Amino acid sequence: ENGVHDLCEGLRENRTLSTLHVYGNRIADSGAISIAQTLKKHPTIKDLSLVRNDITDDSCDALGAMLKVNYTLERLVLSENDITDVGIEHILHALANVNDSLKELDLRRNCLTDRCIDDVVQMLQHNRTLTYLDVRDNKLSKGGKNRIEEAAQDNDVLTDLYL
């Protein structure tokens, strides 16, 4: 936790860093929340990857809140975590209703099920900046994947969809 605290302090001072990849450091929700809160006030990062960090739904409210005010972030990778339908709702709502900068969202290998399909579809109906969406290796049914694919066909911006 001290490492994430020091990292966030550095992000507050640094105005040039544009990529932050925190891979497999098990920063957990407290670390993800600290990073999200820092990026709300100091939005220099364009590419944020938090792969395999034991992140759960508890961080998603903070990540969604960050996406509502951060117009710099273009790529968000949250793969190989423990995010469920409950948590992803916060992120998808921010992308559907407010955020117009994120271009890539990677949610591979989380715990998403068909219960999040309505939120994914709504996001695809309203978001006009996301070009890449990856939801592979979740618990989505063939019917759920078909609904996402249908919504993606009506989205003229999304070019890369991985189900």
Q: Are 50 and 78 in contact (CB under 8 A)?
A: yes
| Average pLDDT for 133-148 | 99
Nearest to 95 by CA among 118, 119, 112, 113: 119
What pLDDT is recorded for position 1? 61
CA distance 124 to 63: 19
pLDDT tens-digit map of 14-66: 989 999 999 999 999 999 999 999 999 988 999 999 999 999 999 999 999 99
The answer to whether the pTM exceeds 0.85 is yes
What pLDDT is recorded for position 15? 86
In what helix (H) or strand (E) does residue 21 lie, and over which residues does it extend?
strand 19-21
Q: CA distances (Å), 76 to each of 132, 151, 163, in order?
A: 10, 21, 17
Percentage of residues in the chain with pLDDT exceeding 90? 95
Structurally, how many domains does the chain consist of?
Answer: 1
Torsion 139-142-146-147 (CA) sign: negative
Domain CATH for 126: 3.80.10.10
Identify the domain containing residue 93 by its residue range: 2-162
In what helix (H) or strand (E) does residue 163 lie, and over which residues does it extend?
none
